[in-house]
């Protein structure tokens, strides 16, 4: 365990992991979450879809900041990855489809 | 990262900002000029500067239809943009019938002249103000979609930069009033803070709404996955005028009564005038006509519009009365970005916001370079190629883009009006100038380099009215006498910009900068700085 953490803590790797998490996982998590919001909102589809899209950009911003804020780089991976998986799983159960 | 929230956010702000600052400057610069998009276009077609009066709309429609009828009776699409306060000319376009092997025919366009409504005067071919408008999200020399993704990534970095900038800022109110001149990096930080804080609501608004204008590209998952029928169905449902009616293949016997459609449209939608008309298959039995209203005094960005069939029955109509709250929200937010609704005093406030945005981005880039330079100077390290690259990019972008824009305007007057490639070469000139300034900046990235480019910019800007006088039949005084404020305003703004550029050049030369100190021998820098 310490070895894996060590790799992730090396400065350059750490930064790459954070950038990767912020962009790739952050975007995927945002998209899944936006789909989930659109699906869960009780309003008319036209309305809920737009609401989800309007909310997605602030959410993406927060996720990017989170992946640079967490004290260890591997946390960016686990936190955003976990968030993505949770949203994706909910979507899979709700809609039967992954984004 | 690095121990604390404050430090990690500072890191993100600094490096994200550095990565995107030059592209963001291009976007802010082009976007700010887009507030004058139609005025720039008008100035760049001096053949139309004789136009003063706004024509009667009904008459203009009649004339443009007869022009289209004679030029392109069998076209699959006619398109008409009627003149308004900011566009003195009636614009028309049509698609030619496709040649064998072509999917779609060529699109041809032209203008009718305001008061005389005559056709056939050749306006010089130019991209005009649309160049800056397109540049600010489509860039150039690449596919529009690729460019939009790149600009979208930069916009996300901007949004993150704004939020992190706010959280790392400990004295927002005090910095409103703080400017310490002549203190190196500290001065640049103050300028960065003032320009950011002063127009912070504008910066947040313009960045967020910029992302929203392309949200169907950037964040399409909800509409693709959740909306029943997907994106195509969404657009059909949101705007029922987006319907295509197949041609019957039978020729119409009579021309379409477009004036009647317009009258009906004005009554039904309660608008005073019409902005656009598009006509599909005008010669066919199954022709359709879409009429768009002009929204005076309304912010939300949507066009009241109705699609008519050839009998004048409404096939679909915009649903402004039935908008959901999020639709109104999105429309209003996007309208705040495009500012089409803004009358001149308000438009100037938007311009001020855009200029402060440019200063914010530029001062951020310069601040980064300045800090590194001071740090390396203090540690007695060589300045290094990476710092030089950043300095050169700063110079080329911040001072080079205004110069390149002037080159763009100059080429508009200097290239022969009938030269085939003039439209393209105006734009090539812009980018060639940018590239040349960059190469020059690599060689001379310090204060002298800045002074030289500012001097060139100032000189060219001050000479622009003279160029216009020499190459056209019009001049600044005539514009002022005729009350053509758009044309006079453009030259007056350029003149003011020229004076600012010359002031900048003088400022750059007034004291030895860090570029001089870096040439000093190791160990002697303390002497040089004093």
Closest Cβ opposite residue B221 in set A18, A31, A47:
A31
Q: How confident is the model at residue B3 (pLDDT cuts 50, 70, 90)?
A: low
**Residue A79 domain flag:** yes
Count of CB contacts below 8 A, A vs B? 107
Give me the mean pLDDT over the B123-141 stretch: 95
The Cα–Cα gap between B215 and B206 comes to: 14
Predicted confidence at residue A78, as pLDDT, reads 96
Q: How far is A46 from chain B (nearest CA, A)?
A: 7
Q: Where are the domains of chain B?
A: 1-45+124-233+325-379, 46-123
Listed range (A28-32, B285-289, B499-503) with the worst mean pLDDT? B285-289
**B112 membership: H or E segment, kind and range:** strand B107-112
Rounded to the nearest 5°, which phi and psi values hold at B109? -140, 170
Q: Please provide the DSSP assignment of B144-159 as one string.
A: HHHHHHHHHHHHHHHH
Q: Is A65 within 8 Å of B330 when comparing Cβ atoms?
A: no
Q: Is B219 within 8 Å of A49 when comparing Cβ atoms?
A: no
Predicted confidence at residue B181, as pLDDT, reads 80
Burial class from Cβ neighbours inside 10 Å (0-12, 13-18, 19+) for residue B183 reads exposed
**Residue A8 domain flag:** no
Listed range (A78-87, B295-304, B463-472) with the worst mean pLDDT? B295-304
Predicted confidence at residue B195, as pLDDT, reads 94
Contact in structure between B194 and B175 (CB atoms under 8 Å): yes
DSSP B381: -
Reading across the β-sheet that carries B288-293, which strands appear in turn? Answer: B107-112, B90-95, B77-81, B274-280, B288-293, B305-309, B314-317
Give me the mean pLDDT over the B6-14 stretch: 93
CA dist B154 → B13, B158, B198, B273 (Å) = 13, 6, 22, 39
pLDDT digits (tens, 9 = 90+) for B421-452: 999 999 999 999 999 999 999 999 999 999 99
Q: Is A54 within 8 Å of B212 when comparing Cβ atoms?
A: yes
Give me the sign of the Cα torsion angle B73, B74, B75, B76: positive
In whole numbers, what is the pLDDT of chain B averaged over residues?
89
Residues in A whose CB is inside 8 Å of some CB of B read 14, 18, 30-32, 34-35, 37-39, 43-54, 56-58, 60-61, 64-65, 68-71, 73, 91, 95, 97, 99
pLDDT digits (tens, 9 = 90+) for B396-411: 999 999 999 999 999 9
Residue B365 in this model has a pLDDT that exceeds 80: yes
Query: Taking CA atoms, what residue in B is nearest to A53?
Result: B219
Q: How confident is the model at residue A5 (pLDDT cuts 50, 70, 90)?
A: low
Listed range (A1-5, B149-153, B375-379, B507-511) with the worst mean pLDDT? A1-5
The whole domain housing A41 covers 13-95
Residue B530 in this model has a pLDDT that exceeds 50: no
Residue A26 in this model has a pLDDT that exceeds 90: yes
Q: How confident is the model at residue A9 (pLDDT cuts 50, 70, 90)?
A: low
Number of domains in chain A: 1
pLDDT digits (tens, 9 = 90+) for B443-476: 999 999 999 999 999 999 999 999 999 999 999 9
Q: Is B18 on the interface with A (CB under 8 A)?
A: no
Query: Taking CA atoms, what residue in B is nearest to A92?
Result: B225
Q: Is A95 within 8 Å of B225 when comparing Cβ atoms?
A: yes
Q: Is B156 within 8 Å of A60 when comparing Cβ atoms?
A: yes
**Residue A4 domain flag:** no
Model ipTM value: 0.91
Residue A61 in this model has a pLDDT that exceeds 90: yes
**Residue A71 domain flag:** yes
Q: Is A50 within 8 Å of B164 when comparing Cβ atoms?
A: no
Q: Is A52 within 8 Å of B159 when comparing Cβ atoms?
A: no
Q: How confident is the model at residue B121 (pLDDT cuts 50, 70, 90)?
A: low
In whole numbers, what is the pLDDT of chain A averaged over residues?
89
What residues form DSSP beta bridges with B317?
Answer: B306
pLDDT digits (tens, 9 = 90+) for B23-33: 999 999 999 99
């Amino acid at each position: 365990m310490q070895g894996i953490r060590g790799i992730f803590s090396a400065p350059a790797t750490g930064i790459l992991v954070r950038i990767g998490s912020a962009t790739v996982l952050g975007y995927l998590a945002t998209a899944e979450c936006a789909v989930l919001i659109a699906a869960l909102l009780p309003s008319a589809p036209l309305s809920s879809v737009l609401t989800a899209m309007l909310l997605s950009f602030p959410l993406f911003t927060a996720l990017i900041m989170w992946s640079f804020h967490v004290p260890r780089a591997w946390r960016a991976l686990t936190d955003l990855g976990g968030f993505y998986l949770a949203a994706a799983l909910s979507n899979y159960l709700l809609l039967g489809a992954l984004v | 990262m690095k121990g604390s929230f404050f430090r990690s956010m500072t890191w993100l702000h600094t490096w994200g900002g550095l990565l995107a600052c030059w592209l963001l400057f291009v976007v802010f610069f082009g976007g700010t000029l887009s507030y004058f998009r139609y005025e720039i276009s008008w100035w760049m077609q001096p053949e139309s500067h004789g136009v003063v009066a706004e024509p009667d709309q009904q008459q203009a429609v009649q004339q443009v239809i007869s022009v289209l009828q004679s030029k392109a009776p069998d076209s699959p699409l006619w398109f008409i943009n009627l003149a308004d306060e900011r566009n003195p000319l009636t614009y028309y376009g049509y698609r030619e019938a496709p040649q064998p092997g072509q999917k779609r025919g060529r699109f041809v366009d032209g203008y009718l002249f305001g008061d005389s409504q005559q056709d056939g005067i050749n306006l010089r071919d130019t991209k005009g103000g649309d160049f800056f408008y397109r540049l600010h999200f489509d860039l150039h020399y690449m596919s529009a979609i690729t460019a939009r993704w790149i600009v979208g990534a930069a916009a996300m970095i901007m949004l993150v930069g704004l939020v992190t900038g706010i959280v790392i800022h400990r004295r927002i109110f005090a910095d409103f009033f703080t400017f310490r001149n002549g203190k190196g990096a500290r001065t640049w930080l103050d300028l960065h803070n003032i320009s950011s804080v002063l127009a912070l609501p504008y910066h947040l608004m313009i960045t967020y709404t910029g992302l929203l204008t392309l949200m169907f590209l950037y964040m399409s998952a909800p509409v693709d996955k959740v909306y029943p029928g997907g994106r195509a169905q969404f657009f059909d449902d949101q705007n029922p005028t987006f319907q295509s009616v197949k041609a019957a293949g039978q020729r119409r016997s009579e021309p379409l009564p477009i004036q009647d459609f317009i009258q009906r449209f004005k009554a039904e939608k309660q608008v005073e005038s019409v902005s656009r008309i598009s006509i599909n298959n005008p010669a066919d039995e199954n022709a359709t006509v879409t009429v768009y209203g002009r929204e005076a005094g309304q912010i939300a960005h949507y066009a009241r519009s109705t699609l008519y069939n050839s009998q004048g029955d409404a096939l679909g109509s915009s649903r402004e009365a039935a908008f959901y709250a999020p639709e109104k929200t999105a429309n209003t937010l996007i309208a705040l970005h495009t500012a089409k609704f803004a009358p001149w005093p308000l438009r100037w406030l938007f311009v001020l916001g855009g200029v402060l945005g440019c200063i914010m981005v530029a001062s951020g880039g310069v601040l980064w370079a300045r800090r590194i330079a001071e740090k390396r100077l203090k540690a007695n390290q060589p300045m290094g190629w990476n710092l030089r690259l950043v300095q050169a990019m700063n110079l080329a972008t911040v001072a080079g883009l205004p110069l390149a824009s002037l080159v763009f305007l100059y080429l508009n007057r200097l290239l022969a009006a009938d030269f085939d490639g003039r439209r393209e070469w105006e734009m090539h000139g812009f980018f060639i100038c940018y590239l040349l300034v960059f190469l020059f900046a690599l060689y001379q990235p310090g204060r002298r380099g800045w002074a030289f480019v500012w001097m060139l910019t100032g000189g060219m800007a001050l000479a622009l009215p003279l160029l216009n006088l020499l190459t056209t039949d019009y001049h600044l005084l005539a514009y002022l006498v005729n009350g053509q404020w758009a044309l006079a305003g453009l030259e007056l703004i350029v003149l003011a910009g020229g004076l600012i550029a010359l002031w900048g050049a003088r400022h750059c030369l007034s004291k030895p900068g860090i570029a001089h100190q870096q040439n000093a021998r190791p160990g002697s820098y303390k002497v040089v700085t004093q």
